[in-house]
Structure 1
């Protein structure tokens, strides 16, 4: 019996265009990222470096880049947050049948964009019993530590949890710990259909 639902954020609630950032960087004459910058991306998602250090790393690696170009390219992945998904979550929260947790790989620059561009973001956040962003807790998916952190902090039985994420690597890692999962396919599935799609475990 499911008692806790753990949601990802990107391509579960907010729509993403994952090809947009590389595309924008190419437009800025950055053909591909070096191994060093890819490592900086991971460090930034874990909150191990500041936004200033992160942007500075790009501008140091590619001296023609301006800070504004980095920010525009980095945020290009973020598309929109359909309000009907927020309404679905709000109703779920009001019914109080499940503990609701958000667990997202994200970073300060992206969350700043969301706060500025999604008028109901604060109310969305308040729908959750716990709200975990990778750069705030210094863990990121699919590392096992991030799931263990949530399980231990809330004293959860994995068999009573459902984790929803659009990245198979992330749901596979959760499943390895005994958590029920839904690897949602955003081009043909929607989180609002949760109780139809996963009716076998509810």
Structure 2
């Protein structure tokens, strides 16, 4: 029996355009990212370097990249947050049948954009019993440590948890720990259909 629902954020609640950042960077003659910058991205997502250090890492390899242009490119992945998904979560929260946790690979520049562009973000945040962003807890999916952290923090049994994420690598990692999962396909599935899509668990 499911007692805790753990939600990803991107392409579960907020719509993403994942290729958009590189499309924008192409405008500044950046065709692909070096191995170093790929590693820097992960460090930043774990909160191991500051936003200023992050931007400077890109500028050290691509001197033509102005800070504003980079931030706009970086945030191009973020599209919109349909309010009906927030209303679904709000109702779920008010019913108090499940513990609700958000677990997202989200960095500081992205969450700052969300706070500035999603008027109901604070109310959305308040619907959760816990709200974990990778850059704040220094773990990222799909590393086992991030799931183990959540399980330990809340004294959870994996078999009583459902984890919803759009990235199969992330749901596979959770399944390896005994957590039920829904690898949501954002082009044809929507989180508001949770209790239909996963009715066998409820």
TM-score, normalized by length of structure 2? 1.00
1:110-144 CA-to-partner distances (Å, cap 9, x unmatched) read 00000000000000000000000000000000000
Task: Work out whether 1:46 is the aligned partner of 2:68.
Answer: no
Mapping of residues 6-155 of structure 1, within 5 Å = 6-155=6-155
Deviation at 1:34, TM superposition (A): 0.5
> What is the alpha-carbon distance in structure 2 between the residues aligned to residue 105 and residue 2 of structure 1?
23
Deviation at 1:69, TM superposition (A): 1.0
> What is the alpha-carbon distance in structure 1 between the residues aligned to residue 16 and residue 145 of structure 2?
25
- 1:195 alignment counterpart: 195
Q: Counterpart of 1:119 in 2: which secondary structure?
A: coil
> What is the alpha-carbon distance in structure 1 between the residues aligned to residue 131 and residue 63 of structure 2?
37
Q: Which moved more, 1:27-36 or 1:127-136?
A: 27-36
> What is the alpha-carbon distance in structure 1 between the residues aligned to residue 150 and residue 47 of structure 2?
17
> What is the alpha-carbon distance in structure 2 between the residues aligned to residue 179 and residue 64 of structure 1?
45
The alignment of Structure 1 onto Structure 2 pairs a total of residues equal to 202
Unaligned segments of structure 2, at least 5 residues:
none
> What is the alpha-carbon distance in structure 1 between the residues aligned to residue 149 and residue 173 of structure 2?
13
Deviation at 1:22, TM superposition (A): 0.7
**Structure 1 stretches of at least 4 aligned residues deviating more than 3 Å after TM superposition:** none
Q: Counterpart of 1:200 in 2: which secondary structure?
A: helix
Unaligned segments of structure 1, at least 5 residues:
none
> What is the alpha-carbon distance in structure 1 between the residues aligned to residue 12 and residue 6 of structure 2?
11
> What is the alpha-carbon distance in structure 1 between the residues aligned to residue 120 and residue 7 of structure 2?
17
Q: Counterpart of 1:159 in 2: which secondary structure?
A: helix
